[in-house]
Structure 1
Amino acid sequence: MNIAGAMTRVLPIEDSSQIGHARRTAQRLAEQHGFDDGDAGRVALVTTELASNLLKHASHGELHLRVLPREAGFGIEIIAVDRAQGFDLHACLADGFSTGGTQGIGLGAVARQAEVFDVHADSRGAVLLARLYPHSDRRPDLRYGVSQHALHDDPSCGDTWHLAWHQGCLSALVIDGLGHGEEAERSARAGESAFARTPFAAPVLLMEDMHREMLGSRGGAVAFAQFNPKRDSLSFAGIGNIGACLIGAGKSRGLASHPGIVGAQYRKAQPFDYAHVNGHLLIMYSDGLQSRWNLQDYPGLVHRHPAVIAAVLHRDFCRGRDDVTVLVVALEAVHG
């Protein structure tokens, strides 16, 4: 199973008139991706409540929408992001707690409407995640999260990412094309195309394939990680300034990359191997994200869904000077 990179769709929620637009946008997205009327209605209901909750307790915030490709079909992800203080999580989770202008179903009921619901809230703000799948889709949620945004909301993004699963193994890619805009996107997409053909090839050969595909373009920074749960190991190969780390059991290990530019010039991309990684988090990010962050500064965040972690890191550490991608994956066997 392959999941190609796509940007996060951002809907600002600053006044009540934007709640209806958010509801219609999310419902239409669900209908376009195979949700029947009942399931699309659940998406609309959850979107309305999350948007209303933003206005109620934060006065403003954002909804982040993403389509979740599956082996057969799709899911819809909705993340509410704010920077408010004093979010009363227990009150909001109570059934019947009205967020104003809604049925007052409360986030507790929203949690039951969604197949996946998770929250992180502290003095910096709150991130609430809802993932919905058609009721006919009983397959487990894939525990990954991504937050990707183009500089100045440009329709082109010089970053891309890709995930592939095969017989329980995972291969994860992040590329940052040099600069931003259409030319950077063209370079990144060329590398992603080569990766998607053979995501589990030997790392040195895979990097060479991507290099050949990116020749003649701007080139870019490239990193990918291949996880084998049976061996309980991960191989990481990187060229350029894609940041990456493994987090687990109270410690974090940085993953080393080599200097160079894929599509231009680099030395041999010798991979680094890491053992005993089952149950760890893999976090990869482009240099649009500051590197001076530590999940230990966010009590409990490491145990939240990877999509929540990605959204929190983007909210608090986006540089605002470049395209940005944050990819978070729970390393566990998945049959896909």
Structure 2
Amino acid sequence: MNIGGSLTQVLLIEDSSQIGHARRTAQKLAEDNGFDATDAGRVALVATELASNVLKHAGRGELHLRILPGSSANGIEILAVDRAQGFDLQACMTDGFSTGGTQGIGLGAVSRQAEVFDVHTDSRGTVLLARLYPRASKAADLRIGISQHSLHNDPACGDVWHLAFDGANLSALVIDGLGHGEEAERAARAGEKAFALAPFASPVYLLEDIHQAMTGTRGGALAIAQFDGHLGTLRFTGIGNIGGSLISADKSRGLASHPGIVGGQYRKAQPFDYAHVNGHLLIMYSDGLQSRWNLHDYPGLVYRHPAVIAAVLHRDFCRGRDDVTVLVVALEAAHG
């Protein structure tokens, strides 16, 4: 299965009128992606309650929407993101608890509507995740998370991500086309197209194919991570300033890249191999994200769903002056 990159849709929640807009937007996204009336209604209900929770608890925040491509059916991801003080999660999970002016169905009821529900809250704010799939599809959730945003909400994004799955194996790509806007996107998409043809090829040959495809464009920075779920190993190849980290419950290590520009000039890249990575998090990010973050500064976050982790990192470390991509993958043989 191949999953091509797409931008995160951001809905501001700053006044009560935006709750209805969020509900309608989420419901239409569900209907456009194969949800029947009942399942789309669940999406609308969850979007309404999460948006209401943001407004009444935090005063302002955002809903992040994303389509979740699947082999049997597409899903819908809704993330509520705010910067308020941490709230009483146990109380909010109780049915009938209302943050004020909502149906008061409680986040516990929301969690039962969603196939996947997770939350991280601390003094920096709260991120709530709900993933919904058509009930009849029995779709399996992938333990991946992406937060991708273009500079100034430009329709064109110079960052591209792509994921390929083959049984227990995974291959992940992040490209940052030089600059931003349409020309940067053209460069990155050319590289993505070459990657998608043979995502599990030897990285040296794969990188050369991508380099040829990006020649004549602006070029860009690139990282490829290939995970073997049977051997529990990761091979990482990077050119330029795409960041990469492997993170476990008690430690983290950076993944080494080489200088250069794909589509321009670089020395032949040496792949780096990492053993015993089953159970680790792989995090790849463009330089629109600051590199000074440490996941262990957030107690418990390493155990949360990768989509929650990606949203927290984007919320707290986005530079705000370039396109930004955060890709988080739980490395586990269960992908197959």
> TM-score if structure 1 supplies the norm length?
0.99
Contact 1:169/1:334 (CA < 8 Å) preserved in 2? no
For the residues of structure 2 that align with 1:152 and 1:89, how far apart are their CA atoms? Answer: 33
Unaligned runs of at least 5 residues, structure 1: none
Whole-angstrom CA distance in 1 between matches of 2:282 and 2:276: 13
Which residue number corresponds to residue 158 of structure 2?
Answer: 158
What amino acid is the match of 2:227?
A: F
The one-character-per-residue Cα deviations of 1:249-272 (angstroms, maximum 9, x if unpaired) are 411011000000000011112100
Shift of the alpha carbon at 1:140? Answer: 2.0
Note the alpha carbon deviations across 1:196-237, whole angstroms, 9 max, x for none.
110000000000000000000000000010000111100000
Q: Which amino acid aligns with 1:225?
A: A
Task: Give the deviation of 1:30 after TM superposition.
Answer: 0.1
- Match runs of 1:1-336 below 5 Å: 1-334=1-334
2:42 is paired with a residue whose SS is helix
**For the Cα contact (< 8 Å) 1:115–1:133, is it kept in 2?**
yes
CA RMSD of aligned residues (A): 0.8
For 1:229, the aligned partner's letter is G
Q: Does the Cα contact within 8 Å between 2:72 and 2:139 map onto a contact in 1? A: no
Q: Counterpart of 2:12 in structure 1: which amino acid?
A: P
Secondary structure (helix, strand or coil) at the match of 1:171 reads strand
Between the aligned partners of 1:253 and 1:264, the Cα distance in structure 2 is 29
AA at the equivalent of 1:141: D
Q: Could you say what secondary structure the match of 1:34 adopts?
A: coil
Distance (Å, rounded) in 1 between the aligned partners of 2:2 and 2:11: 27
Distance 2:102 2:42 in 1: 14
Say whether the 8 Å CA contact 2:225–2:235 is kept in structure 1. Answer: yes
**Could you tell me how far 1:139 is from its partner in structure 2?**
3.1
- SS in structure 2 at match of 1:260: coil
Q: What percent of counterpart residues are identical?
A: 78
Task: Give the drift of 1:168.
Answer: 1.2
Task: Report Cα offsets for 1:160-192 as digits up to 9, x if no partner.
Answer: 100010021000110000000000000000000
Distance 1:334 1:88 in 2: 33
Cα drift, residue 335 of structure 1: 5.0
Whether the aligned pair in 2 keeps the contact of 1:175 and 1:221 (CA below 8 Å) is yes
Secondary structure of the structure 1 residue equivalent to 2:53 = helix
Contact 2:214/2:263, CA 8 A, preserved across alignment:
yes
**Contact 1:188–1:220 (8 Å) recurs in 2:** yes
Distance 1:220 1:40 in 2: 39
Q: Which amino acid aligns with 1:328?
A: V
Q: Which amino acid aligns with 1:315?
A: R
Q: Which 4+ runs in 1 deviate beyond 2 A? A: 99-102
SS of match in other structure, 1:136: helix
Pair 86,203 (structure 1): closer, same or farther in 2 beyond 3 Å: closer
The residue identity in structure 2 corresponding to 1:69 is P
Q: Name the CA distance, whole Å, in 1 between partners of 2:27 and 2:325.
A: 26
Q: Which runs of 5+ in 2 are unaligned?
A: none
TM-score (norm 2): 0.99
SS at match of 1:129: strand
Please say which of residues 90-99 and 288-297 is displaced more in the overlay.
90-99
Secondary structure of the residue that 2:186 maps to in structure 1? helix
Structure 2: distance between partners of 1:253 and 1:108: 36
Q: Letter of the aligned partner of 1:257 in structure 2?
A: S
